[in-house]
Amino acid sequence: MPSTDSKKIKIIIADDHPLFRRGLKHAIEETSDIEVIGESCNGEDLLSLIRDSKPNIILLDIAMPGKSGLDLLKQLKNEHPKLPILILSVYPEEQYAIRFLKAGASGYLTKESVAEKLAEAIRKIAGGGKYASTAIIEKLAFDFSDSEKLPHETLSDREYQVFGMIAVGKSLTEIGVELSLSVKTISTHRTRILEKMKMKKNAELIHYAITQNLL
């Protein structure tokens, strides 16, 4: 007869804040069917940990050191295509949920709602479902045409990443250093962003990000 432990949902928490990981672990310890089998503070350690421990689900923070959350997610799905990943983020769903779900995530949960919804999200994903708000799931299902999308939704993943960094006031040089790209490449992305969003200067991008609650 299988042991109780073998039926538990085994998860790895990937987040670079020890206190947040501790809080998640404490919340999970109050459940009888979910178990934390590993913790990671960066993408490199996470990839190694997955190979060694074979979890059922990954809880992934999108803002860890090193690779961007989206790039790390894509690498995880490439190496472990069947492994469900629940994104944990300080950013509202409107900013990133659609992009992460399209890139292969099984769910998106804001950190402010973790305490009340974490176990529910983990169980739904473990059962093969997707977890996000009804509005986001519907938007993902219908996958609106470009003519129905908001301006920022027409950007590529890299363009959206650069747009977000411009919107918080980072210079092209700072963005280039952070993304390990040349200033010329970042400048090209900026030009395309302005063209796609039909804007002419950074101030318009910043104003748009504020009005759309993307910051």
pLDDT digits (tens, 9 = 90+) for 54-89: 899 999 998 877 777 888 898 999 999 999 999 998
Tens of pLDDT along 173-200? 999 998 888 999 999 999 999 999 999 9
Distance CA 87, CA 182 (A): 29
Give the domain-ending residue among 142, 158, 184: 142
2, pLDDT greater than 50: no
Give the domain-ending residue among 142, 164, 183: 142
- Pair (131, 57) in one structural domain: yes
- Pair (117, 21) in one structural domain: yes
CA nearest 61: which of 99, 27, 16?
A: 16
- Pair (47, 104) in one structural domain: yes
- Pair (55, 138) in one structural domain: yes
Name the domain count of the chain.
2
The mean pLDDT of 3-12, rounded to a whole number, is 78
> Which pLDDT value is given to residue 135?
77
What rounded mean pLDDT belongs to the chain? Answer: 87
5, pLDDT greater than 80: no
CATH number for the domain harbouring residue 102: 3.40.50.2300
Distance CA 90, CA 63 (A): 9
Confidence of residue 1 (pLDDT cuts 50, 70, 90): very low
- Pair (23, 36) in one structural domain: yes
**Structural domain span for residue 163:** 147-211
Residue 4, classed as helix, strand or coil, is coil
Give the domain-ending residue among 96, 121, 142: 142
Instruction: Tell me the CA distances in angstroms from 79 to 40, 73, 108, 186, one per residue in order.
Output: 17, 10, 20, 28
Structural element, H or E, at residue 20:
helix 18-29
